[in-house]
Structure 1
Amino acid sequence: MGPAKRYERDSRRAYVVIAVGILGYFLAVAQRTTFGVASLDAAERFHATASQLSLFTMLQVFVYAGLQIPVGVLVDRFGSKAMVAGGAILMAAGQVVLALADSLAWGVVGRVFVGAGDAATFICVLRVIPAWFSFAKAPMIIMLVGTVGNFGQLLSIIPFSAMLGWVGWTPSFLAMAALSAIVGVLVLAFLRESPDGQSTGGSTLGLRRTWAAVVTCLRDPATALGFWVHFTVQFTGTVFALMWGYPYLQNAQGMTMGQASFVMTFFVLTNFFVGMSIGRLVARHPERRVMVSFAVVGAGFLAWSVLILWPGTAPFLVVVAAVVAIAMSMPASMVAFNIIQSFIPRRRIGTATGITNVGGFVASLTAIYLIGLALDSQVALGWVSDAFAPEAFRVAMSMQAVVALVGSAGVLWSARKVRARYGPTVV
């Protein structure tokens, strides 16, 4: 067999490779968000309380976040193709388990598998970007992966939601499992590690050297800044898309399932248009990355303040505008990965990206739990008779402010460290 054909960076082949990676992430987002669409059906199927319902998504996010650093280490060793394909198969298995589950315990097992497969997708797709694209194009490609990949939520919002109503729980989740398996095969066939066809994985490391590599990443202030930017910016959109968006729109704002799906479509469309705008902005003005992050966080929490303080249900257009502002957090969180790729050596970029990606999902996990706890606690205290009452959501959704304040302090601290090491105008 002759040597593998050599391709150039920014070539047509590079766009084919990243398109396959984006397809993998697109399906991962679809698998991730199906439970949010089906959360009220799940409450009925498993006879679950609000806190128990939170457990599904909390464990999924916990597994996702907990595996980010191990996945980062593994992708630095084995490369992206094996990890993304393996993740697709894991998600397919998880959706099969969930489709057939008739108890809370088995439902949780299914979501854990989905979380594990999801964990092996996004950062592994990002890892091929420096090999295939020039430094000038990399920020836009990162945004393209995040924003187009997030369109996967449309698959759960529209066809999956409709299928759930037409044919029910089991066929709907089995269909999602089949799609994930198909994508796994496509990744094996077309995803390529680098232009020269060689694996970008590193040499085998023992446990001590692996831990040393992780510690080196943790000590770099750029990793800390990436972590805290992702923590602070991403979580409110993730909480809305992954768990509490549909229950909030249907119960607190009195929408039908169809109306809620229509509003969530704006959520997904915002990811694309805002994401590409932010990509161009940070490519031209990398020194404004922290400022952009704080601007998006401020817009999201201004939107939540309007919804929480509005007497009764807010007008439809006000809700749409607020959801658009909340949705901006998803593409804006990609700034964290641009920070990582600007400062971290490529041999450690998978590990550093994994650490960074933990941030948003730790914050999301915390916020999901606090919201569920606040809903049930108000019933226990006698403040409301129904955990999903509109008044209960006002208090519960305000709990997100606690997470945002902690994250903002982390961004300010780590940005100061990055500027001290790399220069006063780098972020």
Structure 2
Amino acid sequence: MSTVTGAPGWRMWTIWCVAVAGYVLAIVNRTSLSAVGVDAAERFAADASMLSLLAVLQLVVYASMQIPVGLLLDRFGARPIMVIGMVLMALGQLAIAFAPTLGIAVFARMLVGAGDAAVFPSVLRLIATWFPAQRNPLMVQLTGIIGQLGQIVAIIPLAAFLHATSWTLAFGSVAGLGVLFAVLTLLLVRNHPQQYDADVSVDTNTGAIEVVTSAMDTRVGIRAAWAHPGTRLAFWSHFSTPFAATAFVVLWGFPFMTEGEGLSAGEAQAVSSTLVLVGIISGPVLGLLSARIPTRRTFALVVPAVVIQMVAWGAVLLWPGQAPLWLMFAVAVSMGIGGPASMIAFDQARAHNPKNRLSTATGITNVGGFLAALLAVLFIGMALDLMGASRPEDYTLDAFRWAFATMMPLWLLGLIMLIIERKRTRKLMGLV
């Protein structure tokens, strides 16, 4: 197989493999507190709201960096931005490995968020410039689901390594991996095939070659992207579908399952791993369906993914006493579908924006999911404090139920805005 420009196929796949492995590491960095939240609370003597701050500010930085990262990608390409992202994550993990206070740990997680923000958009950029344009949806789905393996690494091997050694050694090792992948990216990744002096997107069916650049006026580019209802539809699609899984795996899922629902550590790891595996299985299916029904995918794929999560979580929160294990697995399945469903948002952004706004529209879209996630993490922490469950020894099932119930308004807001923006988009397209 050859690249879209005739370069050897091995180079295309080597670049993609390095980029995807880097994305897996970024997910490990992002979710590295997922199975050690209780350890973090004890290490830094943090209550629920302060513990939420570790994840919230990380996600705030991640979300706020999306548009700047998109514009930097348009100017410098994927390779240098991805290298910088790896270095920032390594510095952040090294800082948290030795952090003596919560304040330093919060700053360290902000560095992790800044570095993490650079990786996924960079991988999307490499897909756009190295693979045929018509293969983009499938490659994006594959990238997203493979990247989620990083959650399993954070949930099982990293947590086990921490408990077998020490906090400093575990997070220091993750920092070392960041340095390694910064070097690999620098050595092996290239922005685009050498025949071109700019990033281009190529459709091998039509022969069309388009240079991928942002508008010269940043404000105009952002306004133009947001003004299109298709971009706003993509934003709300990404807002509504993945935030529960993000809040679950970034911080609150493991404490909820072990301290609230009474699951063993092994059972909690199995539930969390199921979430990831369901995403891997359902991702390609949703990717193919999204490509086949582009005008119906909001109601056919995105909305059902949201409703399924609401129903599953509603059953857990209303169950008398601790929920049975099968119901916890059902919740994991529902959230596992939400992750791949969120990737449809990038198809929507790409379909409704010209190539010169691709990175800007992608950045706006990506902000949606992480804005919802940081709100969910923050609301859960605040609710736990209000319920008198500030520290691990005070966690109760009732407190967790009220805390996780704060996700329902976010889903309702997302559904309402999805319906509104879908109607506006279809009207603009002449479909209504």
TM range (shorter): over 0.9
Tell me how far 1:124 sits from its aligned partner.
Answer: 1.7
- Distance in structure 2 (CA, Å) of the matches to 1:374 and 1:9: 55
The alignment status of 1:312 with 2:308, answered yes or no, reads no
Tell me how far 1:204 sits from its aligned partner.
Answer: 9.5
Determine helix, strand or coil for the equivalent of 2:296.
Answer: helix
The alignment status of 1:369 with 2:378, answered yes or no, reads yes
- Distance in structure 1 (CA, Å) of the matches to 2:353 and 2:325: 45
- Distance in structure 2 (CA, Å) of the matches to 1:132 and 1:401: 40
Checking the alignment, whether the CA contact within 8 Å between 1:78 and 1:199 is kept in structure 2 is: no
The correspondence of residues 222-261 of structure 1 with structure 2, limited to 5 A, is: 222-261=230-269
Counterpart of 2:406, as a letter, is: M
Counterpart of 1:26, as a letter, is: V
345-354 or 97-106: bigger deviation: 345-354
Checking the alignment, whether the CA contact within 8 Å between 1:124 and 1:350 is kept in structure 2 is: no
Structure 1 runs of 4+ off > 4 angstroms? 9-12, 201-206, 384-387
Shift of the 358–210 alpha-carbon distance from structure 1 to 2, 3 Å rule, reads same
Tell me how far 1:130 sits from its aligned partner.
Answer: 2.5
The alignment status of 1:221 with 2:229, answered yes or no, reads yes
- Distance in structure 2 (CA, Å) of the matches to 1:9 and 1:377: 59
Shift of the 148–6 alpha-carbon distance from structure 1 to 2, 3 Å rule, reads closer
Structure 1 equivalent of residue 69 of structure 2: 71
Tell me how far 1:65 sits from its aligned partner.
Answer: 0.5
Structure 2 equivalent of residue 396 of structure 1: 403
Tell me how far 1:401 sits from its aligned partner.
Answer: 0.5
Deviations 1:57-77 (A, max 9, x none): 000000000111111111111
Gaps of 5+ in 2: 200-210
* Identity across the alignment (%): 37
Tell me how far 1:386 sits from its aligned partner.
Answer: 6.4
Tell me how far 1:125 sits from its aligned partner.
Answer: 1.0
The correspondence of residues 149-298 of structure 1 with structure 2, limited to 5 A, is: 149-195=147-193, 196=195, 198-200=197-199, 209-291=217-299, 292-298=301-307
Gaps of 5+ in 1: none
- Distance in structure 2 (CA, Å) of the matches to 1:405 and 1:127: 32
Tell me how far 1:304 sits from its aligned partner.
Answer: 0.4
Determine helix, strand or coil for the equivalent of 1:286.
Answer: coil
Counterpart of 1:409, as a letter, is: I
Counterpart of 2:36, as a letter, is: A
- Distance in structure 2 (CA, Å) of the matches to 1:193 and 1:114: 23
111-120 or 147-156: bigger deviation: 147-156
Shift of the 204–367 alpha-carbon distance from structure 1 to 2, 3 Å rule, reads closer
Tell me how far 1:257 sits from its aligned partner.
Answer: 2.2
Checking the alignment, whether the CA contact within 8 Å between 2:93 and 2:174 is kept in structure 1 is: yes
Checking the alignment, whether the CA contact within 8 Å between 2:212 and 2:358 is kept in structure 1 is: no
Checking the alignment, whether the CA contact within 8 Å between 1:296 and 1:332 is kept in structure 2 is: yes
Structure 2 equivalent of residue 91 of structure 1: 89
- Distance in structure 2 (CA, Å) of the matches to 1:319 and 1:6: 45
The alignment status of 1:345 with 2:354, answered yes or no, reads yes
Checking the alignment, whether the CA contact within 8 Å between 1:376 and 1:387 is kept in structure 2 is: no
> Which of the residues 93, 106, 110 maps onto 2:108?
110
209-218 or 66-75: bigger deviation: 209-218
Checking the alignment, whether the CA contact within 8 Å between 1:223 and 1:356 is kept in structure 2 is: yes
Aligned residues: 417
Deviations 1:22-45 (A, max 9, x none): 111111001000012221101000
Give the alignment's TM-score, normalised by structure 1.
Answer: 0.93
Structure 2 equivalent of residue 412 of structure 1: 419
- Distance in structure 2 (CA, Å) of the matches to 1:10 and 1:30: 31
Counterpart of 2:408, as a letter, is: A
- Distance in structure 1 (CA, Å) of the matches to 2:77 and 2:37: 35
- Distance in structure 2 (CA, Å) of the matches to 1:204 and 1:331: 27
Counterpart of 1:61, as a letter, is: L
Tell me how far 1:85 sits from its aligned partner.
Answer: 1.2
Tell me how far 1:287 sits from its aligned partner.
Answer: 2.1
Shift of the 119–330 alpha-carbon distance from structure 1 to 2, 3 Å rule, reads same
> Which of the residues 35, 42, 45 maps onto 1:44?
42
Deviations 1:238-267 (A, max 9, x none): 111111111111112112223211221111
Structure 2 equivalent of residue 27 of structure 1: 25
Counterpart of 1:39, as a letter, is: G
Deviations 1:125-151 (A, max 9, x none): 112222222233211111011111111
The correspondence of residues 317-332 of structure 1 with structure 2, limited to 5 A, is: 317-332=326-341
Checking the alignment, whether the CA contact within 8 Å between 1:37 and 1:161 is kept in structure 2 is: yes
Tell me how far 1:202 sits from its aligned partner.
Answer: 6.9
Counterpart of 1:241, as a letter, is: V
Checking the alignment, whether the CA contact within 8 Å between 1:154 and 1:265 is kept in structure 2 is: yes
Counterpart of 1:137, as a letter, is: R
Give the alignment's TM-score, normalised by structure 2.
Answer: 0.92
- Distance in structure 1 (CA, Å) of the matches to 2:392 and 2:286: 44
Structure 2 equivalent of residue 359 of structure 1: 368
